[in-house]
Structure 1
Amino acid sequence: AAEMPGTVGERKTSRKGAAGTATAAIDPWTLIEPVNLSTVIDKNFATQMTEKKWQKRKEALDTLEKVLEEKKRLQPSNENKAVVSLLNKTLEKDVNINVAAGAAACLSLIAASLRTDFAPYASQVMSTCFDKFKEKKSVVREKVMECVDSWPPRVSFEEYTEEILSGLTKTNPACRSQTALFLSRLFTQHSAATLPKDAVRTVLGGLLKLSSDSDAECRESSFSALAALLRCVGEMGGKRMMGKVAENFIKMQKIEKVRDELVKSMGKATAS
């Protein structure tokens, strides 16, 4: 006889569907066995990074990058600090753009491999990255962008608000502009429910000030960030946070235009 709704056949299908959903929800990263960075990094890495020939330094970074691409989950360890500090120093001070870009790439992978355990290093690395945005060569700038975007989904915004404020007020306009664009990308990852509003209020003054910057690119970047914020928290909440900028017709016209483009491409963010 045919089964009635809710009988064993339907319940089996229902259970199978639920199991499939549960399986799909499992983060593959959590199933990876974490490795200690000190056991997979070349023992002479620190020495290699002092080589006079830039090719030797780049070679050491390429080797580390390959290891990090294979070992996608790192064990939290005090030993990580020395490696992150060395890479950060390399990104900050190495005069060769290929070496600096290589250091940024390795930092991105370490951040992705440590996830929330990258938090102790976030402010230090973020500060270097925001300053490094002054570099005109795209090979460096693109890797730095990847680096700053690699941990925000997992490291609390509050960990590096001071660095963001500093980035928004740097002398170099490229640094100010790229810091604002970073905020724009960060805000698009949030909804009104997940946005850390206290941290946003901390950096908002600098972002609003940037909307009147003498540099046109900085102004446009601030509009992008404010548009992403408006999409995130909604019309009323966003305008309330923006204060006098919300009363400026020309600025709001530009902000709302970008907001509308974001909604069209990404959908609304205020429902979740």
Structure 2
Amino acid sequence: MAPTEIPQPGLGTSGHEGEACTEAVLAALEAGYRHVDTAQMYDNERAVGRALEESDVPREDVFLATKVHPENLAHEDVIETTAASLDRLGVDRVDLLYVHWPTGAYDPEDTLPAFDEVRDRGWTDHVGVSNFTTDLLAAAIDVLDAPVLANQVELHPRLQQDDLVSFARERDVTTVAYCPIAKSEVAEIDTLREIAEAHDATPVQIALAWQYDREGVVPIPKGTGDHIRENFAAREIELTDDERERIAALDRSERLVDPDEAAWNR
């Protein structure tokens, strides 16, 4: 399963709720996005579903992803709550269903066969994982019958995850990048500001352009209003080799999402 099969970029919806979420998804689809990411944990699947229903973009043209809450990762809970997610989204299937975190009720031998079952039922076209380390990703690949299409992780210029991205790419697993603009902190990085000036762009757009340029990486920036269109337009920015090297030097392994129970803290 080639990494390029996931549309670039996606719209992240964490933190979006209610009508504001619906409006953001509608604006993204109008701007050209064809990948929308949500989760049980976000409590906005109904709002995303309303946008899909109201949009002029056909459902089959939208790559829709959701994630199973860590508390719902026991085998039968995966199946029951996936059915509930489909109902909230107003769809009969999603394109990608993730394990949201390998925590809570996660047990690979119990959880992952349920994802295979959900796929066999036609409720998802693909399965994925999120917040997995290389070891956990390798184990999931071994247990699942279905290919792992994606591993969704925090990734931005201060946390570049080179080893994880390379490990995934070698196994045809796309790295889907959440927090790709580091909760807007990239706007304060001098290097990105300097590069942005050369492209008549913003530091946020430069951070996204760098990710759009990385093989096997698909960022899913959040956004509202004009930011949604600006994030999409960053696809047109062509960075030089020197600019890419300067951005590569920004890596500090700095996490913004770092719960104690995360796999990398065990």
Question: Is this a same-fold pair by TM over 0.5?
Answer: no
Structure-1-length-normalised TM-score: 0.27
Specify the structure having the higher radius of gyration (Cα). 1
Normalised by the size of structure 2, how large is the TM-score? 0.28
More RCO (CA 8 Å, sep 6+)? 2
